[in-house]
Structure 1
């Protein structure tokens, strides 16, 4: 969604301080040096606008979150199409859950480059426990490659097909299962398909391809599976894939500007002649430019203000060079901190102040600023593997007319706001605005003065998954008249409270001063599934103001009981039995979930708070 704001030229910060720089190559994504999103749909808006149907019975429904379901297993061939007939080389990805198989040969899958109803490239799961990568030309099916795979109904699988020239690659849950080549298909749209089967589809993503082949790690858009069970049933096992980010590779995008602490802003911005400041690089960048910062600590006396847009095919990127350690320090900025009771002018909010679309900010650390990143009226941006710590307001805030932003593998901690006595500094805030398609995945939000996550006055659905919030709401800075709220995940609220139908799943809230997961007065319907609340000062789950749906959640040794009001609950720990203790879980050791991340940015898996007798209850990371 494009906002109606006026477009202005970029204004830039003052020079950065000089320190040593190290390393060799720029960080790029694992799928493509300049992969861009062509299309995405999570169906969280409750409709299937943009899709056209051919056969079957299709409808948007709910399965933990909103999904698109073809419910007629007797339909011979059911299809929905989306996208542009002009698309050529791209990757198409979706989560797919087979529900039932009918008669004859049966499959469910995802197709790309459908130039007609009988010519396309396709990746399918069959009832014969195989995955097949197929080239379909004028109705003739050629199997390019296949692999044995247990295909179970009721289980989510992430399918990804990459079509590039005559080359085809197929992935299941991030692992390459088949590849090869055939006669090149005509350009065309994406297709979700079933054949004598019913299935649900979710989290559709189409993106351009570069020259770098994906790794076998789980893809960034993989979502944890959710299954609703009855109040007295043990939950069936489903997979919860880790949240991963792209790993550094040894290639540098052609359109790159290098910044180093020993550079000079009169330089060309090459590896041998780097620039000195991020601000200068932003000024020089054009759509599609990657700005790569060499190792060191950069001091700012004025923030970087970004008002120019990239495009889906040519986004801007700010990143560390080859994963080097980069710290952007805003201690010398104005309003660090603002006076008690004071305000921060809009343009001064954030060391990075972004009012623009299609920017990627990756693998840097931002400290001591009045907000680390403040993103207003911004769309289609990606914030990946960032650390935002010890700032004088929220670590990352997205506000206003904001759609399709992704926050991936964020660490945000120690943020506080002396100007408001601790009341507004969150680890992550998506607040005071609206816009569909915003996703938070793999975030860790801890020891912030107010809340871990805050969705105050944001009226459009936000999806949060595979994340954790702990230790929020304690006065660690001896702030006078302290009023920090102290919740792990605050899923709405306002004055008055607007309805908002957010989703949070597969996430942990523990050791927060007050609540774990709360609706905060939100009268909407929040989907709360497969989450764990542990040792929070007040209730682990507080949804007394909403009509929320809580399934498969675990509440353990919180200071107060669950609050439901008009919300519904099934398959949760309190539905299964009345008394739970730490003896019911495999481990209460927080050291892994709070420790170092994996090299790909994902949170390291552990047995933290996994119920021994109910393997599909609560969060699992």
Structure 2
């Protein structure tokens, strides 16, 4: 029996049912709409900005399919070095969230290629409201115009209790989703791919991650579930300045740090679950956050598949699979230097929990771990077993970018699923999640 992903079914089904039952309003936007219209199906609005102005808690904004060619004059506001194109600052409530969702099975695309605000960091959707739901559309073409150190973002989240579901952020120069504040947000079944800032810092792409999660102090309970990140020029998922713990659950990261022609670009880590490498000790978060990466998959990322990134706190790495990364698992830690003079020195990481993880064909399977001061059990790199292709039904990486299923969940694949008779079936230890057989399997895919 396969593991059931918590929250894998649509988070909006119950919300939509309640909204209709309560008589909440619906507003429609369309590429050929007009903001002078009334926002009905027959007379749709043209913009997200106009729809937000009309919407109240419990309402739903239905986004018709087609391409929305966003123009520079649609920038809602310029604040300091930022250009916020769509500013979503109106909140719903727990009982009545505001929903921004694709109309039926249509496929809306917001194309920001024409928004080139000189000298400003472009934020396509700046979300400071709470109890908001976004589902079923794509954001593409977000630009960078600054040649020095900078970044743009498809979504920036500062609100709480928001759900981002079945969104695709692709083929631009911006980070897909960047969470800097707010608690209890769920990023569910979202994709970020082929994003490369080729303008700033000589085009190295060193600031374009698929997903960035850097919650400030007090912003707790944020979860990424069922997401994919591939061919982003820097990292797939990055927590380098997170002040609170983040959970990555059943997420995939492939080919990050490369161009689509496999030219090396930015850092190239799949899951960068840690940070604060060069921050003086006195300025570190207290306590340091402990991140969780569970049932995730990292494939052919340029640097490391799973990376602690100098973090001064162990992490929980549970039931993951890594294949063909520079390092499959890299637990590097910085020195905990009380006097603050040597905080930039690195040591093997301590305090980690690594259980039921599988690594295969990495440049190094495991590096920079202080195993004597960590909890390590039932991983492929400590079981003393020799892994071969025969342990898996398939090692065809192309499966991983197949279209998602109709409900938005990850595609059914056989990649790195354990073959019948594999030595890693039932070789894991219990970690608090359901499993088939006598014991859990090793790796992110439980055999059926």
Q: TM-score, normalised by structure 1?
A: 0.57
Match of 2:34 among 264, 267, 273: 264
Q: Which has the higher contact order (CA 8 A, sep 6+)?
A: 1
Q: Who is 2:417 aligned against?
A: 610
1:372-383 matched pairs, under 5 angstroms: 372-383=153-164
Match of 1:307 among 89, 92, 116: 89
Match of 1:533 among 304, 308, 322: 322
Q: Supply the distance in 1 between the matched residues of 2:411 and 2:250 (Cα, whole angstroms).
A: 11
Q: What secondary structure sits across from 1:593 in the alignment? A: helix
Q: Who is 2:138 aligned against?
A: 365
Superposed displacement of residue 374, structure 1: 3.0
Q: Supply the distance in 2 between the matched residues of 1:591 and 1:449 (Cα, whole angstroms).
A: 19
Q: Supply the distance in 2 between the matched residues of 1:268 and 1:343 (Cα, whole angstroms).
A: 33
Closer, same or farther in 2 for the Cα pair 1:478/1:444, shift >3 Å? closer
Closer, same or farther in 2 for the Cα pair 1:409/1:558, shift >3 Å? same
Indicate yes or no: 2:177 matched with 1:396.
yes
Superposed CA deviations along residues 543-594 of structure 1, whole A, max 9, x for unmatched, are 1324210000001010113021243311101121253222322211234332
Q: Supply the distance in 2 between the matched residues of 1:248 and 1:367 (Cα, whole angstroms).
A: 26
Match of 1:324 among 96, 101, 106: 106
User: Number of aligned pairs?
Assistant: 371
Indicate yes or no: 2:400 matched with 1:619.
no
Q: Who is 1:240 aligned against?
A: 3
Superposed CA deviations along residues 135-177 of structure 1, whole A, max 9, x for unmatched, are xxxxxxxxxxxxxxxxxxxxxxxxxxxxxxxxxxxxxxxxxxx
Superposed displacement of residue 372, structure 1: 4.9
Q: Who is 2:82 aligned against?
A: none
Superposed CA deviations along residues 514-533 of structure 1, whole A, max 9, x for unmatched, are 10001001111211010001
Q: Who is 1:465 aligned against?
A: 249
State whether residues 60 and 100 of structure 2, in contact with CA within 8 Å, keep that contact through their aligned partners in structure 1: yes
Superposed CA deviations along residues 374-403 of structure 1, whole A, max 9, x for unmatched, are 32432111000000001212011111x321
Q: What secondary structure sits across from 1:297 in the alignment? A: strand
Q: What secondary structure sits across from 1:440 in the alignment? A: strand
Superposed displacement of residue 245, structure 1: 2.6
Q: Who is 1:187 aligned against?
A: none
Superposed CA deviations along residues 93-144 of structure 1, whole A, max 9, x for unmatched, are xxxxxxxxxxxxxxxxxxxxxxxxxxxxxxxxxxxxxxxxxxxxxxxxxxxx
Closer, same or farther in 2 for the Cα pair 1:373/1:360, shift >3 Å? farther
Q: Who is 1:277 aligned against?
A: 47
Superposed displacement of residue 449, structure 1: 0.2
Q: What secondary structure sits across from 1:279 in the alignment? A: helix
Superposed displacement of residue 299, structure 1: 1.0
Q: Who is 1:406 aligned against?
A: 186
Closer, same or farther in 2 for the Cα pair 1:587/1:247, shift >3 Å? farther
- Is the helix fraction higher in 1 or 2? 2
Q: Who is 2:313 aligned against?
A: 524
State whether residues 295 and 444 of structure 2, in contact with CA within 8 Å, keep that contact through their aligned partners in structure 1: yes
Closer, same or farther in 2 for the Cα pair 1:321/1:352, shift >3 Å? same
Q: Who is 1:450 aligned against?
A: 234
Q: Supply the distance in 2 between the matched residues of 1:295 and 1:410 (Cα, whole angstroms).
A: 18
1:25-424 matched pairs, under 5 angstroms: 239-242=2-5, 243-245=8-10, 253=20, 254-301=24-71, 302=75, 303-335=85-117, 344=121, 348-349=122-123, 351-370=124-143, 371-399=152-180, 401-418=181-198, 419-420=200-201, 421-424=204-207
Q: Who is 1:544 aligned against?
A: 332
State whether residues 161 and 185 of structure 2, in contact with CA within 8 Å, keep that contact through their aligned partners in structure 1: yes
Q: Supply the distance in 2 between the matched residues of 1:544 and 1:395 (Cα, whole angstroms).
A: 26
Unaligned runs of 5+ in 2: 76-84, 144-151, 334-348, 426-440
Q: Who is 2:216 aligned against?
A: 433
Superposed displacement of residue 357, structure 1: 1.1
Q: Supply the distance in 2 between the matched residues of 1:533 and 1:356 (Cα, whole angstroms).
A: 37
Structure of larger gyration radius: 1
Q: What secondary structure sits across from 1:574 in the alignment? A: coil
Superposed CA deviations along residues 456-488 of structure 1, whole A, max 9, x for unmatched, are 110211111111000000144899xx7500010
Q: Supply the distance in 2 between the matched residues of 1:591 and 1:474 (Cα, whole angstroms).
A: 16
Q: Supply the distance in 1 between the matched residues of 2:332 and 2:443 (Cα, whole angstroms).
A: 20
Closer, same or farther in 2 for the Cα pair 1:248/1:273, shift >3 Å? farther
Q: Supply the distance in 2 between the matched residues of 1:385 and 1:239 (Cα, whole angstroms).
A: 22
Superposed CA deviations along residues 406-432 of structure 1, whole A, max 9, x for unmatched, are 000011101122324311111111026
- Is the strand fraction higher in 1 or 2? 1
CA root-mean-square deviation: 2.4
Superposed displacement of residue 608, structure 1: 1.7
State whether residues 154 and 174 of structure 2, in contact with CA within 8 Å, keep that contact through their aligned partners in structure 1: no
Closer, same or farther in 2 for the Cα pair 1:331/1:270, shift >3 Å? same
Q: What secondary structure sits across from 1:288 in the alignment? A: coil
Indicate yes or no: 2:310 matched with 1:503.
no
Q: What secondary structure sits across from 1:573 in the alignment? A: coil
Indicate yes or no: 2:366 matched with 1:562.
yes
State whether residues 362 and 386 of structure 1, in contact with CA within 8 Å, keep that contact through their aligned partners in structure 2: yes
Q: Supply the distance in 2 between the matched residues of 1:463 and 1:299 (Cα, whole angstroms).
A: 34
* Divergent runs of 4+, >6 A: 247-252
Superposed displacement of residue 310, structure 1: 1.7
Superposed displacement of residue 263, structure 1: 2.0
